[in-house]
Structure 1
Amino acid sequence: MLRVEGVIPVLITPFTEKHELNEPALRRFVNRFIESGADGLFCLGTNGEFFSLTAEEKIRIVEIVVDETRGRVPVYAGTGGIGTKETAELSERMEAVGADALSIITPYFLPLTQQELISHYKSIASWTSLPIVLYNFPARTGVHLEPRTVAELSSIPNIVGIKDSSGSFDTILQYIHATTPDFAVLSGSDSLLLWTLAAGGKGGVSGSANVVPALMTAIYARWKNGELPAAKEAQSLLRPLSELYKRATLPSVFKEAMNMMGLNAGPCRPPIAPPEPALKEELRTLLRRYKELGYIKEEIQ
């Protein structure tokens, strides 16, 4: 079974000015991440704007990423939806196009019980042989996977981990305590990456890696090498970026940063708007600082 660990960037979905998929840019992102030492690639996450993509667009994105990756790192495909059947069918199609694992966010909008969530995930797991990483993001979905629920689901052979984007370190600690060491608890909040690792988690799924992939992988590498002070220093450098992206709708700040680096992320799909001019200038200043520190290779435009 796949070992889920390390820094796994969430791929931004690049669009043209007409809001269509930009395939050459997506292929460039894949290689940029792999060259930066990423341990996997996460397609169709929140920062990938999965909520505004059609099923066919989602499948095409994963096809492109699988093709460009060529087995160098695992490819994770987000397939979560409101209904069990639609999620299972999309998961089955992602398996057919070559994804290595699935990430499945909880159903959203409906205030489901924990037993309903258990039944949902068990049904999907029976439809696919791929490893499944649960995805907890209660601020966006209105649904929270409780630790006892995660513990029960972790007994299913192909449910192998959870990405937690609650922003609560206590929730991460509870997941780690409720599951066995081979179950991968991943931070979905970049500010908690190092602390998740120190507590026994396996790594993180990172949106900030779209801007500073070398910084994210440095946190993990330094921690793994036992260089805790250096890992703490790298972790602290993320805070200014975290403060900026909180001031606009995801993933507009990340896309703006990538456009400033000439990476052609393009616009977000409406109704998400670009950052305000003052925020853009703060972002440009921060990117220049990251470049001075050696964490960005690209020229800042």
Structure 2
Amino acid sequence: MCGWHLRTETEECHDDLVARLREGMAGGVLSFPLTSFDDGGVLDLDGFRAYVAAQVATGPGAVFPACGTGEFFSLDEDEYRQVVTATVEETAGRVPVVAGIGYGWAQAVRFARIAEEAGADALLVLPHYLVRGPQSGLVAQVEEIAARTCLPLIVYQRDQVAFTVDSLRRIAALPNVVGLKDGHSDLDQLQRLTLAAPDGFLFFNGAATAEVQARAYAAVGVPAYSSAVHAFAPEIAAAFFAALRDGDTARVDRLLREFYIPFVELRDRVPGYGVSLVKAAARLRGRPVGPVRAPLADPTPADLADLERLLATGLDLVSETAPAPVTAGAAR
């Protein structure tokens, strides 16, 4: 039972949300906004609002506040409420808002309640904290959360969370579990999961720097993906998405070779750079996102210089590889 729901959620409502997400995922990448802090590590809500407004203006398929890129793990409940509320207000219904929740199920439910009250459309269930559990425990974690919120749930499998086919069937049978985000990149297992899931169940690629594996995921029926690059260079993310959608292999290859793979190599130098580099790149673009919070650390001066050069390369590639406009004569 949804003991505190503010609005009646029905399966029809869930179906509408799934349809909106599916449409958005087909037309653009998924935005995972950074959370803005000032130099003292205090939440900068004005900076965050400006940043989210800029992200929404680029036309993402959906916005996922307070997730991994948004440093969910460093937010207290009041900050979380402010972040989700601000996102809902800045999106103003233009795209779905899917808020991150996590830790053990009891704490995840507390965040779910806050997100529901703030007006989020759905929830992304981040991997639980610290311990590994058996499949029965992984399923029970989702069941406990699903029983206590009316919002649709997308479950994120990565690190210590990996579902078997039987477990996927069990969580997909829950009325408000509507999708799975995959961060393992085990394409053999992912294919098995997609074939076992009910019709209409959502899947998307949540691998780190997902573009590098986007073609492989698409080959097993999972074309949608989240993009960390969108958080700082939506032009590059959009160019890659369009090239992949249009089958422009040469452009995809060049973006991968000259920007995305070097970015992954830079990201892998230091633990936590998957967020720290993204935030540093956004600052280089003039976005008001501030530093990361501990235990993350901002890039070293040498790595920041490499990031700045790589960012310039990526932006140049967008203009250099842009398809030529089609003239009226050429269209005949």
TM-score, length of structure 1 as denominator length: 0.88
Kindly provide the CA deviation profile for residues 233-270 of structure 1, in whole angstroms up to 9, marking residues without a partner as x: 37624222222222232311111111111112211112
In structure 2, distance between residues paired with 1:254 and 1:27: 18
**How far apart are 1:120 and its partner, in Å?**
1.8
Q: Which of 128, 131, 143 pairs up with 1:122? A: 143
Match of 1:103 in 2: 124
In structure 2, distance between residues paired with 1:97 and 1:271: 28
Q: 1:288 to 1:215 in 2, by over 3 A?
A: closer
Match of 2:175 in 1: 157
**How far apart are 1:231 and its partner, in Å?**
6.7
Match of 2:325 in 1: none
In structure 1, distance between residues paired with 2:251 and 2:61: 17
In structure 2, distance between residues paired with 1:280 and 1:122: 43
Kindly provide the CA deviation profile for residues 183-225 of structure 1, in whole angstroms up to 9, marking residues without a partner as x: 111111212233323321151122221122233234434444x
Q: Which runs of 5+ in 1 are unaligned?
A: 296-301
In structure 1, distance between residues paired with 2:244 and 2:152: 26
Aligned 1:103-252 pairs, distance under 5 A: 103-138=124-159, 142-189=160-207, 190=210, 191-224=212-245, 226-229=246-249, 232-233=252-253, 236=256, 237-248=259-270, 249=272, 250-252=274-276
Q: Is the 8 A contact 2:45 2:82 kept in 1?
A: no
Q: Is the 8 A contact 1:42 1:205 kept in 2?
A: no
Percent of pairs with identical residues: 28
Secondary structure at 2:131's aligned position in 1? coil
Q: Which of 265, 279, 289 pairs up with 2:289? A: 265
Q: Which runs of 5+ in 2 are unaligned?
A: 1-14, 320-332
Q: Is the 8 A contact 1:79 1:91 kept in 2?
A: yes
Match of 1:298 in 2: none
Opposite residue 220 of structure 2, the aligned amino acid is A
Q: Is the 8 A contact 1:245 1:254 kept in 2?
A: no
Q: Identify the structure with the greater strand proportion.
A: 1
In structure 2, distance between residues paired with 1:240 and 1:22: 31
Q: 1:25 to 1:198 in 2, by over 3 A?
A: farther
Kindly provide the CA deviation profile for residues 80-138 of structure 1, in whole angstroms up to 9, marking residues without a partner as x: 112x2221232122111100110002322222111122122122112222111001121
Larger radius of gyration: 2
TM-score, length of structure 2 as denominator length: 0.81
> What is the aligned residue count?
290
In structure 2, distance between residues paired with 1:267 and 1:122: 36
Q: Is the 8 A contact 2:229 2:236 kept in 1?
A: no
Q: Is the 8 A contact 2:35 2:48 kept in 1?
A: yes
Opposite residue 116 of structure 2, the aligned amino acid is E
